Amino acid sequence: MTDCSFLDRLREPKIFDMSMFDWFSSLFGAYLIGKYFLNLTSIFSYSIWMVVWTFLGVYVHYLLGVHTMLGYYLGVNPKPIRKKCETN
């Protein structure tokens, strides 16, 4: 058990052992890029962009050697080691 930072606390809620905060912040960033830089307008183009963004994220994590649960589920990397936070 270790002390946790504010970011570690934000990452505690998980679905399928993947941080909900990381998913929401990543997809929100993809939305902003799609809207303001790529000028996407249709739901279909946004859907394709979100899938591309997700796989780009998996690829970048792979290149940097960062193990993620999505990468683990896709067979790209071993299961990441999670630290346990102290509860008060």
Q: So what's the pLDDT on residue 49?
A: 96
**Per-residue pLDDT tens digits for 3-60:** 788 888 888 889 998 999 999 999 999 999 999 999 999 999 999 999 999 999 999 9
Residues present in the chain in total: 88
CA 36 to chain centre: 21
The model carries a pTM of 0.80
- Dist CA 54 CA 49 (whole Å): 9
pLDDT category of residue 86 using cuts at 50, 70 and 90: confident
The answer, yes or no, to whether residue 1 has pLDDT greater than 60, is: no
Structural domain boundaries in the chain = 38-88
Q: So what's the pLDDT on residue 63?
A: 96
- Dist CA 58 CA 21 (whole Å): 16
Nearest to 21 by CA among 13, 29, 32: 13
